[in-house]
Amino acid sequence: MTPNVLIIGAGMYVLGRDDRDLGTILPTLLQEQAKGEIGEIFVASSRVTSAKAGLEKLKILASKLQVGPKVKFFPAAQDNHEEYLKIAKETKNLIAIVAVPDHLHFKITNDLLDLGIPTMVVKPFTTTLSDAIALTKKAQGKKIFGAVEFHKRFDEANILLKDALTDNKIGDLLYVLVEYSQKRLIPLEVFKEWSAKTNIFQYLGVHYVDLIYHMTGARPVRVSATGQKNLLLAHGIDTYDSIQANILWEARSGKNFNSVFLTNWIDSNKTSSMSDQKIKVIGTSGRIESDQKNRGLQMVDGEGIEDVNPYFSKSFKKKDGCYVDGYGPKSIRQFLQDCKKRTYSATATFADAVISASVTEAVGESLRSNNQWVEIKHNLIKDFLNVQ
């Protein structure tokens, strides 16, 4: 049966930051609707003003993507933080995508599971390990499919990296180096209402925690983290500018490897891309390096210089209008397929995301306890580890 889709949240990831940025979730779903893969689309935000702005943006999307959309935006009359509940209760054959600020993922996802609705949550799954476990147990108990949109699993560079590790091309892993940062306009402008309620490791670093787990099946063992509060604090936002973390893992072979994460979200707004992202994996018989910022496409025009990532989420011109594609849209399409066919692919399940939540929580604990090593709570995560 063709499902209807409820999107909760109407921000940057759903429909873009400005008229030039088409966003990821809504354009992907509009294209699927045009193909007949899904029925109606509902977008629930919490404010009437964002519902109205969404409706305006829909006109741009419909014209650029050349689709005749069936989309309803809420709330219509009055601001309401629980508007999504009305639609979730009233609509038959519904699946949901939760794209609200990090600290709200748990409550909204929990409400949707109570109503029996298959749900995809954007990363990070939750902000605490206990919340991640509670949602996973509820979904498993009620046999509802729950996914987390860890789209880096769908980046072809990372698929090849995973294949190489699976084929043991570089021997036993010794260490992994991840560098991941974004422009300061993200915490200072785009997320200014909620950036103090998350941290840069939980918001961004978590992507590569999930990726390392997905690629290796290794078990996180212990964590130590340092961080600096400087520039954002001076702007009245009490969160870390940068977090550096060491995560020790036990590979399936039983041997240990280390991963070092260097993250920040105070890069200059003039830097040449929104995200600077690199991963290096070093083993006993080789190394694999992937610069996931410099993909070999640099554009310079009157507005400045940009290193373009053509593979995440981009609009491409076609004969009439354009289409949106990339590993972001691909991960959303895969969720739709997973719901239909019930054959779960590379999509991260709630159980998978418990592992990344155990690491982000331990990083927070280490930051609060003078950078001490913090053991991952193995007794709490062991039932969710993927032990093929």
Ligand X SMILES: NC(=O)c1ccc[n+]([C@@H]2O[C@H](COP(=O)([O-])OP(=O)(O)OC[C@H]3O[C@@H](n4cnc5c(N)ncnc54)[C@H](O)[C@@H]3O)[C@@H](O)[C@H]2O)c1
Question: How far apart, in whole angstroms, are the C-alpha atoms of residue 64 and residue 384?
Answer: 43
Burial class for 18, CB neighbours closer than 10 Å (0-12, 13-18, 19+)? exposed
Residues 13-52 that bind ligand X (CB under 6 A): 13-14, 44-47, 50
Binding positions for ligand X, 166-205, rule CB under 6 A: 190-191, 203
Least CB distance to ligand X at residue 253 (A): 32
Instruction: Give whichever of 99 and 336 is closer to ligand X, judged by the CB atom.
Output: 99
Q: Given the rule CB under 6 A, which of 9-17, 161-169, 302-310, 356-364 is the region that contacts ligand X?
A: 9-17
Structure tokens belonging to residue 332: 């959303």
- Minimum distance, C-beta of residue 364 to ligand X, in the bound complex (Å): 16
239-277 CB burial, b ≥16 within 10 A, e <16:
bbbbbbbbbbbbeeeeeebebebebbbbbeeebbbbbbb
Asked if 133 touches ligand X (CB under 6 A), the answer is: no
- Ramachandran assignment for 380, one of left (phi > 0), alpha (psi -120 to 50 degrees), beta (any other): alpha
Question: Which residues have C-beta within 8 Å of that of residue 234, sequence separation ≥ 6?
Answer: none
Residue nearest to ligand X (CB): 11
If the CB atoms of residues 249 and 261 are measured against ligand X, the closer one turns out to be: 261
| Binding footprint of ligand X, residue count (CB under 6 A) | 24
For the bound state, the minimum distance from the C-beta of residue 182 to ligand X, rounded and expressed in Å, comes to 9
User: Binding to ligand X by residue 87, rule CB under 6 A?
Assistant: no
Q: Which is nearer to ligand X, 81 or 278 (CB)?
A: 81
For residue 139, the tally of other CB atoms under 10 A from its CB is 22
Q: Which stretch binds ligand X (CB under 6 A): 96-104, 243-251, 283-291, 364-372?
A: 96-104
206 binds ligand X (CB under 6 A): no
Q: Tell me whether strands 304-307 and 298-301 are parallel, antiparallel or unpaired.
A: antiparallel
Q: Is 99 in the site for ligand X (CB under 6 A)?
A: yes
Q: Which is nearer to ligand X, 67 or 99 (CB)?
A: 99
Shortest CB 258 distance to ligand X, Å: 26
222 binds ligand X per the rule CB under 6 A? no
Q: Are 116 and 88 in contact (CB under 8 A)?
A: no
- Do the Cβ atoms of 112 and 96 come closer than 8 Å? yes
Give residue 196's region: left, alpha or beta (phi > 0; psi -120 to 50). alpha
Whole-angstrom distance, CA of residue 213 vs CA of residue 217: 5
Chain contacts with ligand X (rule: CB under 6 A): 8-14, 44-47, 50, 81, 84, 99-102, 104, 122-123, 190-191, 203
